[in-house]
Amino acid sequence: GESVGLHLPTLSVQEGDNSIINCAYSNSASDYFIWYKQESGKGPQFIIDIRSNMDKRQGQRVTVLLNKTVKHLSLQIAATQPGDSAVYFCAERGSNTGNQFYFGTGTSLTVIP
Amino acid sequence: NAGVTQTPKFRILKIGQSMTLQCAQDMNHNYMYWYRQDPGMGLKLIYYSVGAGITDKGEVPNGYNVSRSTTEDFPLRLELAAPSQTSVYFCASNWGQGSYEQYFGPGTRLTVT
């Protein structure tokens, strides 16, 4: 099966600092990646996505970077706010698995006021 | 729109009992999914459906069954519940066919004792 892993299970940052959450994936054929945010007691919520033909994609306060050479994905959150405290998951779509996505274990982000 | 709704929110089952987790979406999405999330872990795909009348197995289908008689509903059936099925279950949906962002329900927390 697929293997999507995260380098750090927990991350604490000061409010206003930038956060970087990392993700490693194993399937070099994966063609699409999504970052989700999951707040306590809720379902995951889409943050940003990126296709494998891109290296970088920016959203509002978030940037996703994709390094296909080392099969690494990162999510950067600018000016982290207390409301950003949550668990963040990366998910990869293997290009040969239709709409199946494989989720990483998750990184718990805590923002210190 | 209500989005993706799930019932019940919580349930305790005894070993060997059966139950159905309900999932409905009002976004006219073609694709629907069932995931389980064990404590401190990512989501694992149980079953998915690309349209009414079509279902397929995901990573961890054993012990579960699904049906998709309408576009809106995608119930998950547990037969002969086991303690290993204690988990939080999430239903999700999306358009599919190039639109991969999944919309998740709030989850059902199931305990089997």
Q: What is the CATH number of the domain that holds B82?
A: 2.60.40.10
Q: Are B90 and A104 a contacting pair at CB < 8 A?
A: no
Q: What is the pLDDT of residue A100?
A: 83
Find the domain containing A76 and state its range. 4-112
Quick check: A97 pLDDT over 90? no
Domain span holding position B52: 4-99+106-112
Looking up residue A88, the CATH number of its domain turns out to be 2.60.40.10
Who's near B96: CB < 8 A, 6+ residues apart? A99, B29, B30, B31, B50
pLDDT digits (tens, 9 = 90+) for A34-56: 999 999 989 999 999 999 999 99
Q: Is the confidence at residue A71, as pLDDT, over 50?
A: yes
Angle (CA) B56-B58-B60 rounded to 5° is 130
* Count: domains in chain B: 1
- Among residues 44-73 of chain B, which lie with CB inside 8 Å of chain A? 44-45, 48, 50, 58-59
Please report residues of B whose CB lies closer than 8 A to that of A43.
Answer: 4, 90, 92, 104-107
Say how far apart CA A42 and CA B106 lie, in whole Å.
5
Number of domains in chain A: 1
Do the chains contact at A105 and B90, CB–CB below 8 Å?
no
Across the interface, whether the CB atoms of B43 and A34 are under 8 A apart is answered no
Give the closest of B33, B96, B101 to A46, CB-based: B101
